[in-house]
Amino acid sequence: MIKSVHNLKAVLIFVLTSFLSIGTVSAESNTKSDPSSLYSRLGGLAPISVVVSDFIDVVVPDTFLNKNPAVQATRAHVPAVYLKYRVTSMVCSVTGGPCEYQGKGMKEAHANLNITESEWDRMVVLFKEVLTKHKVPATESQELLELIGSTKADIVVASSK
């Protein structure tokens, strides 16, 4: 009896994983993105989500960034997993992928954080390190940095101390 229950569990796990894999493939194949888009050149949603996840994992605990009391306070009530979801969705969208970002605009999301120029610079350094770690090609890295740079005026609101 125990052996058959174990086998049944194994079969169920196999069926569920197969079903989920088929669903993922179908969802991705139904979503056509321009093969020349940055989204496609980055490899699609999976690699983007891995890079974003690693970036958030580096940014959230960064001691320099957390010296800003507003940033530190926000870290206490905005879970990293939520940031990963929102940033992944945004990157997917702005790079030409199928995602629709439905979060706040950059100005609204960062208005109360009093981000300084030096904090911005630190974030850029961390982002470049994550891109290097994941061997994102130079052209695509530069395009991502330009996309991020286009948001700077909405994010940096305080002069450096």
CA 108/CA 112 separation, integer angstroms: 8
pLDDT at residue 125 in the model: 98
- Residue 158 bridge partners (DSSP): 116
pLDDT at residue 34 in the model: 78
Whether 118 and 107 have beta carbons less than 8 Å apart is answered as no
CA 147/CA 37 separation, integer angstroms: 13
CA 131/CA 141 separation, integer angstroms: 7
pLDDT at residue 50 in the model: 98
Residue ranges of the chain with pLDDT lower than 70? Answer: 1-33, 158-161
CA 161/CA 155 separation, integer angstroms: 16
Alpha-carbon dihedral sign for residues 16, 20, 26, 27: positive
pLDDT at residue 159 in the model: 66
pLDDT at residue 35 in the model: 79
pLDDT at residue 33 in the model: 63
98-106 long-range Cβ contacts below 8 angstroms, 24+ apart: 98/31, 98/33, 99/45, 105/154, 106/151, 106/154, 106/155
